[in-house]
A = this chain, B = another copy of it.
């Protein structure tokens, strides 16, 4: 059976990273896709682990050669998902996790209608502001820019398959695990019916 392609999106500061880390701990067979990016590494980020850090020129080459499943520009940097490792893992039956932005998620859904798109919402915009401030990574201007961007992203929720509110990480993770289990029971997964007549 082909693996499940799970896309997790949501505004900066909503806690996607924490949720994805918890998912990977709970589901040891789930494989995280490592994105390529043109932005500079933050302290502690390692090449090939959090991201593949590439030059603008290398990124442009990957786009031209069709090596990216999706790519997008966010806050002035480019991010993209290398296509081959994702396809190979799915074919081997592994589930693959993509933590990408909304533009990227919708591109993936176009080429993979079976991809499962989950949007992570904050409990409120106030809470999102608090989380961004607590993170302390951004200047006040950058934070405002992120919040405006968040509102823009949230408007695309209707194009996503599922919405999970991150009020408590454990609950959000449990909901995503349920979503994955349910998707594996979808009637489109027809082999079971064929199997029964053998």
Number of identical monomers bound together in the oligomeric complex: 2
Report yes or no: A192 in contact with B165, Cβ–Cβ below 8 A.
yes
Residue of B nearest to A188 (CB): B158
Residue of B nearest to A165 (CB): B192
From B154, B182, B196, give the contact of A122 (CB < 8 A): B196
Residue of B nearest to A176 (CB): B185
Report yes or no: B190 in contact with A162, Cβ–Cβ below 8 A.
no
- Interface size for A (C-beta < 8 A) is 36
Would you call A119 an interface residue if the criterion is a C-beta within 8 Å of the partner chain's C-beta atoms?
yes
Given contacts A124-B196, A196-B154, A163 and B179 within 8 Å (CB-CB): no
Given contacts A119-B187, A187-B119, A187-B161, A125 and B181 within 8 Å (CB-CB): no
Given contacts A182-B178, A182-B182, A185-B179, A158 and B190 within 8 Å (CB-CB): yes
Report yes or no: B186 in contact with A162, Cβ–Cβ below 8 A.
yes
Report yes or no: B178 in contact with A121, Cβ–Cβ below 8 A.
no
Residue of B nearest to A182 (CB): B182
Report yes or no: B121 in contact with A193, Cβ–Cβ below 8 A.
yes
Report yes or no: A121 in contact with B192, Cβ–Cβ below 8 A.
yes
Would you call A50 an interface residue if the criterion is a C-beta within 8 Å of the partner chain's C-beta atoms?
no
Can you list 6 A-B pairs, Cβ within 8 angstroms, ordered by A?
Answer: A124-B195, A124-B196, A124-B198, A174-B181, A175-B182, A181-B182
* Chain A residues at the B interface, C-beta cutoff of 8 Å: 118-119, 121-125, 154, 157-165, 174-175, 177-179, 181-183, 185-187, 189-190, 192-193, 195-198
